[in-house]
Structure 1
């Protein structure tokens, strides 16, 4: 498959790495499966609308157009959620998302002051949460990451990377 087409089908986070500086991916996090529920329902509704064309007789065009709209929205939502990745490396965290226009927001580990993990009731039941990053910068491109699977584990991963990098002093063993 040509590289130009692949860029629209795969988020390819590796091309954003600073390999020459020794950066590597620790965790690549796709959106939690819960975000696929509405697009799946839209696709089911589209199929029902296409089926209803049989009964609509001369008005078959109405359910057809509605079905095309629902199927298009559902397919785009599926693909948009597939292209949205949150990445933890040994040097930074970043998010890459978008299909036609791709957006990259990054924050070095040294700038992370605080991470809040918000888990709504449904998120606690199904295993997802939302990250809120606080940094020293006034205006930042990476503030909220929604629908992160296993948020407690991901938070510990980030804290571990920060600790291993020596960016925070160990409170148990002061230097």
Structure 2
């Protein structure tokens, strides 16, 4: 629920004509409000000091209390207006109260995502994201106080996977096997075309294959030979 009705309206930064859609809109974890709330409590303690000051100087703790309270409220509003958005094309961060700042990173440039979860973060389920991108000067590097960091990290990985930037790659080409080496003496001998004429005088359509001489059977012998 938006505090004081403030909302950064991240949907107006989407590229609607290209089909960009919000996958996840991440608000700051409540742990980011601990220090501003403690600062607001400190302003009340400073206000109580007015009873210990002379009547001519009572305005000093009052002004100090107001200044601390305004600064604490400003920090609380800053946390409320800080949004981290994951879309099907990019990740971007919108923050700022009076002036709004936008830092964006396309999915194609995300090289690595590191998730740092401190000891207190493991107890209260928050962590910090650190992005490594292909650009040298990047406007989106660290996102602090992200609730359910493991789940958000998996969401980004799914978006990267579905975009085809990882895991798909170019299909491997089949390995070409070398042609088997054959013994030329094992190949059948072919007679020239001019020697393949049949008794009918017709020209044969294909050459006659003849086995080599060492594979041919011995010629028949006449029984009357030698008599």
Task: Tell me the TM-score normalized by structure 2.
Answer: 0.68
Q: Which moved more, 1:53-62 or 1:119-128?
A: 53-62
Q: Which of 11, 30, 45 is the equivalent residue of 2:8?
A: 11
Q: Identify the residue that residue 119 of structure 2 maps to in structure 1.
A: 121
Q: Within 2, Cα distance between the matches of 1:41 and 1:129?
A: 21
3-state SS of 1:95 partner: strand
3-state SS of 1:138 partner: coil
Where do 1:99-114 residues align within 5 Å? 99-114=97-112
3-state SS of 1:37 partner: helix
Residues 57-83 of structure 1 show CA distances to partners (whole Å, capped at 9, x for unaligned) of 513212101110111111000001111
Question: Quick check: which has more Rg, 1 or 2?
Answer: 2
**Which ranges in structure 1 are unaligned for 5 or more consecutive residues?**
1-7
- Give yes or no for the alignment of 1:60 onto 2:54: no
Aligned residues: 166
Where do 1:84-163 residues align within 5 Å? 84-163=82-161
Q: Identify the residue that residue 27 of structure 2 maps to in structure 1.
A: 30
Larger helix proportion, structure 1 or 2? 1
Q: Within 1, Cα distance between the matches of 2:73 and 2:54?
A: 27
Task: Tell me the TM-score normalized by structure 1.
Answer: 0.87
Q: Within 2, Cα distance between the matches of 1:75 and 1:151?
A: 27
1:10 Cα deviation from its structure 2 partner: 2.2
Q: Within 2, Cα distance between the matches of 1:76 and 1:11?
A: 15
Residues 108-129 of structure 1 show CA distances to partners (whole Å, capped at 9, x for unaligned) of 1111111011111111111111
- Give yes or no for the alignment of 1:83 onto 2:85: no
Q: Within 1, Cα distance between the matches of 2:31 and 2:168?
A: 37
Aligned-residue CA RMSD in angstroms?
1.9
Q: Within 1, Cα distance between the matches of 2:73 and 2:62?
A: 16
1:12 Cα deviation from its structure 2 partner: 1.0
Q: Within 2, Cα distance between the matches of 1:153 and 1:57?
A: 56
Q: Within 1, Cα distance between the matches of 2:38 and 2:136?
A: 40
3-state SS of 2:123 partner: helix
Q: Which moved more, 1:8-17 or 1:66-75?
A: 8-17
The structure, 1 or 2, with the larger RCO (C-alpha pairs under 8 Å, 6+ apart) is: 1
